[in-house]
């Protein structure tokens, strides 16, 4: 995305901060002008895939698994697909109550000052630019964000953090989880939203070969594997951020994580956005 025009409103940020991220079950917000209600609008990032068979073989398709949209819908939100290359006006971005940054391929290591390795998966530069810019716009403008797997890594890199590029090359007693979804036990801080949703010792489903190394600004680690591999972070101030290295959208017993996120986003429309506009470049 070459351009995201984001609303800049202190009152909107204050409304977010006054709402505890430990959300209750989401309920549609009321439109006081019309008396109607609406579900929170949750933007879900997508990638692209090249179709390989049929009449449309060779054509590009917007791709995101329905697990994400189903999880948000069942949590009380209304999913809106966000695609790389879209240009959002201030008013359009302000319409979103929250953003989910989804899983996908590796981030270009140049984005966090590292060299490419043979173990890197091919980066999607357009999606990298789109999602990093989106994460930064959300941070600056008080939009709650949920990051999942690559989404956690995007948030960390967007905030100046770095990544371990290939866990199997590290001297860590960590399960190989780079070929398929793998059950991984994690330890969660009791004082965290992950613990309130999943408990302090859940088993999660992971599919990754990279993880957080240096932590980005404004984040704190709230869950790890016993090896030390980071599995969840939250924001320490400002707009709520919850990011996990695992895939809660694949497990029915992790649905509460989405319910809590959608719950807090329903409070993000308490104050109308300011007409001021800041343009964020990738």
Residue 231 designated active-site:
no
Report angle CA 110, 115, 119 to the nearest 5 degrees: 110
Q: What are the beta bridge partners of residue 117?
A: none
Buried b / exposed e over 180-204, threshold 16 CB at 10 Å, is eeeebebebbeebbbbbbbeeebeb
Residues with Cβ within 8 Å of residue 252, at least 6 apart in sequence = none
Residue 170 designated active-site:
no
Residue 22's region, left for phi above 0, alpha for psi from -120 to 50, else beta, is beta
Given the residues 133, 139, 249, 256, the one annotated as active site: 249
Query: What's the rounded Cα separation, in Å, for the pair 260 and 37?
Result: 19
Query: What's the rounded Cα separation, in Å, for the pair 231 and 162?
Result: 15
Tokens of 7: 């609303």
Residue 249 designated active-site:
yes
Q: Which helix (H) or strand (E) holds 182?
A: strand 182-185
Start-to-end Cα distance in the chain: 7
Given the residues 149, 208, 209, 225, the one annotated as active site: 149
Q: Catalytic amino acids?
A: 149, 247, 249
């Amino acid at each position: 995305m070459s351009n995201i025009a984001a609303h800049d409103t202190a009152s909107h940020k204050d409304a977010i901060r006054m709402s505890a991220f430990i959300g209750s079950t989401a309920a549609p917000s009321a439109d006081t002008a019309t008396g109607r209600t609406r579900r929170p609008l949750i933007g879900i990032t997508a990638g692209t895939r090249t179709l390989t068979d049929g009449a449309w073989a060779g054509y590009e398709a917007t791709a995101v698994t329905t697990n994400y949209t189903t999880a948000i819908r069942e949590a009380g939100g209304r999913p809106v697909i966000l695609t790389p290359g879209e240009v959002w006006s201030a008013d359009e971005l302000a319409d979103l109550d929250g953003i989910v940054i989804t899983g996908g391929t590796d981030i270009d290591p140049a984005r966090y000052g590292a060299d490419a390795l043979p173990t890197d998966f091919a980066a999607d530069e357009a999606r990298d630019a789109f999602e990093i810019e989106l994460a930064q716009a959300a941070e600056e403008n008080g939009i709650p964000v949920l990051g999942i797997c690559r989404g956690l890594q995007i948030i960390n890199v967007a905030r100046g953090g770095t990544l371990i590029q290939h866990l199997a090359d590290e001297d860590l007693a960590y399960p190989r989880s780079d070929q398929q979804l793998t059950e991984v036990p994690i330890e969660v801080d009791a004082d965290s939203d992950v613990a309130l949703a999943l408990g302090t010792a859940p088993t999660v489903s992971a599919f990754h070969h990279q993880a957080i190394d240096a932590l980005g600004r404004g984040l704190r680690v709230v869950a790890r594997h016993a090896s030390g591999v980071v599995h969840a972070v939250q924001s320490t101030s400002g707009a709520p951020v919850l990011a996990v290295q695992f895939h809660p959208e694949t497990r029915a017993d992790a649905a509460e994580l989405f319910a809590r996120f959608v719950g807090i986003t329903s409070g993000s429309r308490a104050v109308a956005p300011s007409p001021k506009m800041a343009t964020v470049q990738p």
